[in-house]
Amino acid sequence: MSVPATTPSEHRHGHVSLEHRHLRKDEFWRAIPAYADVDRATFLDHRWQARQTVTKPKDLMAAVQDLVSPEFIADVEAGFQHSPMAVRVSPYMLSLIDWTNPYRDPIRTQFIPLGSRLLPDHPLLTLDSLGEQRDAPVPGLTHRYPDKALFLALDTCPVYCRFCTRSYAVGTDTEEVEKVSLKVDRERWAKAFEYIARTPYLEDIVVSGGDSYQLKASQITDIGESLLAIPHIRRIRFATKGPAVMPMKLITDTEWSDALCRVVEKGRKQSTEVVVHTHFNHPNEITDITREAIDILFHRGVVVRNQAVLQRGVNDDLETWRLFVRRLGQIHVQPYYVYVHDLVRGVEDLRTTVATAIELEKGIRGATAGFNSPTFVVDAPGGGGKRDVHSFEYYDPETGVSVYRSPNVDPTKLYFYADPIDLLPPSGREMWKDPAGHQRILDDAAARARAVLAARS
């Protein structure tokens, strides 16, 4: 009996790429003139990475030198001048940028602003679009959902993302924004812990900032043990972009890694879940250094989940997402949420549409296991919290307005998200030109949403 050359399964899935397994192992940083003579041990030193971080156009020029044109540097200078975020890029991330095509590179796009790409902010934008300060019973603690609170321990990060939702507080003041101060302060922390302790229905605390990567090892221990000492806390999440932008800290700052793992282990012994939530946005951010770093956590039983941000020109196409979720799975990082880009000042060029998010979520579903398939969400402006992107009550692609409800936050309120104006059809762009008509656009969307709700009830 003859044996078929391929099985039905092999015939159906033979086209599947194994690219997600191919992680960069070369000394890629040596392509940057300033790092050409940097050996691997130095490059993996988290202290060297912190010292060499780029924060000014002159730092960038000193690093990349003749890899870019004077015109590009002038464009960066214009971008820095108008950015609401202070700029801070690690040598690791700088080295992963394709400097032969920096205008289109997805990593450059996220961290280094260009004046030529900036667009006017959407009329609905506010600096604290998610209303985090309004929902803060004590400074630096946002309590919106009944059983969960967000603890902002500090206001610095290892890098500063252009698209940061907390540009109202994170980083230093810029020409555009004077920041709210959330510096490390044990007295402020104590007030937050006291509020959590006297609020028995709080069970879930997210430790963020800023970035928990910036906390000292002793501060990780202090926060972790303070929260673990509260009997009704069942889940703690340390939020950090660090593994994506400076993975070598997990490798070479053993004191910090050990402190985190000890908190996780102590939590496990008392049946309190302690996990890490991180923030990769593109498959190019994941290298063999990343794998080595995440393995340190994986081998000690630390669960790592990823929360990405959907960005135009970075990760708004299906093939990128198919590669991305598989590559995250390859290093044992679970894709969790994908945020439709918040209404953030100075980064309208990065936002895309709700319709795009819906199509991407459809396209990813089935590309890998369900638990490695992220949920696309809109963090509803005005404090509605995270809503499944497709769960709107009404969406008008012409005006770009989508209307959401958040019954567990406020069952009577409607929350509005708006697509970027430059991606609307001509008729929609025309409607937003008249400031006097903006409220009419929202009123019409609200009326249509309420009609849908009435028809359903």
Tens of pLDDT, residue by residue over 399-413, are 999 999 999 889 999
Look at residue 176 and tell me whether its pLDDT is greater than 70: no
pLDDT confidence of residue 202: 97
Q: Are 124 and 349 in contact (CB under 8 A)?
A: no
Query: What three-state secondary structure class fits 406?
Result: strand
Structural Rg of the chain based on CA atoms: 23
How far is the C-alpha of 173 from the C-alpha of 181, rounded, in Å?
A: 10
Top pLDDT among 35 and 185 is at 35
pLDDT at site 230: 98
**Residue whose entry in the numeric block shows the structure tokens 């007295």:** 187
Which residue do the tokens 């953030």 mark? Answer: 344
For residue 304, give Cα distances in angstroms to 240, 278, 290, 312, 331: 10, 7, 13, 26, 10
The rounded distance, in Å, linking the Cα atoms of 341 and 163 is: 8
- Kindly report which listed range (157-161, 305-309, 317-321) carries the lowest average pLDDT score: 157-161
| Token couple for 148 | 């969960």
Check residue 199 and give its pLDDT: 97
Question: What architecture (CATH level 2) is domain 141-388?
Answer: Alpha-Beta Barrel (3.20)
Q: How confident is the model at residue 295 (pLDDT cuts 50, 70, 90)?
A: very high
pLDDT of res. 12? 55
Statement: residue 456 has pLDDT above 50: yes
**Residue 83 vs residues 105, 107, 401: alpha-carbon distances, Å:** 19, 17, 26
Residue reference for tokens 């590559």: 327
Bigger pLDDT: 5 or 139?
A: 139
pLDDT-derived band at 129, boundaries 50, 70, 90: low
Assign residue 271 a region: left if phi > 0, alpha if psi is -120 to 50, beta otherwise? left
Please determine, for residue 440, whether its predicted confidence score (pLDDT) is greater than 70: yes
**Residue 131's pLDDT is what?**
52
Looking at residue 11, its pLDDT comes to 46
* pLDDT for 175 beyond 50: no
The pLDDT-based confidence of 191 (bands split at 50, 70, 90) is: very high
By the 10 Å C-beta count (0-12 exposed, 13-18 middle, 19+ buried), 413 is classed as: middle
CB 266 within 8 A of CB 304: no
Mean pLDDT of 424-437: 96
For the CA atoms of 439, 162, 156, 225, what is the dihedral angle to 10 degrees?
A: 80
Tens digit of each residue's pLDDT (9 = 90 or more) over 62-83? 999 999 999 999 999 999 888 7
| pLDDT tens string 192-233 | 999 999 999 999 999 998 899 999 999 999 999 999 999 999
Q: What pLDDT shows up at residue 345?
A: 84
At 404 the pLDDT is 97
Residue pLDDT, tens place only, 140-150: 899 988 899 99
Tell me what the pLDDT averaged over the chain comes to. Answer: 90
326-372 per-position pLDDT tens digit: 999 999 999 999 999 988 888 899 999 999 999 999 999 988 888 88
What tens digit of pLDDT does each residue of 250-259 get? 999 999 999 9
Of the listed ranges 29-43, 120-134, 141-155, 216-230, the least confidently predicted one is: 120-134
The pLDDT tens digits of the residues spanning 132-142 come to 567 789 988 99
- At 133, the amino acid letter reads Q
- CA–CA dist 356, 157 (Å, integer): 29
Domain boundaries along the sequence of the chain: 18-117, 141-388, 392-457
Q: Is the pLDDT of residue 33 over 80?
A: yes
The rounded distance, in Å, linking the Cα atoms of 304 and 408 is 27
| Average pLDDT score over residue span 370-397 | 93
Percent of the chain surpassing pLDDT 90: 74
Beta strands in 240-272 (DSSP E): none
Percent of the chain with pLDDT over 70: 90
The contacts of residue 262 (CB under 8 Å, 6+ apart) are: 221, 224
Tell me what pLDDT residue 75 has.
94
In tens, the pLDDT along 83-112 reads 766 778 999 999 999 999 999 999 999 999
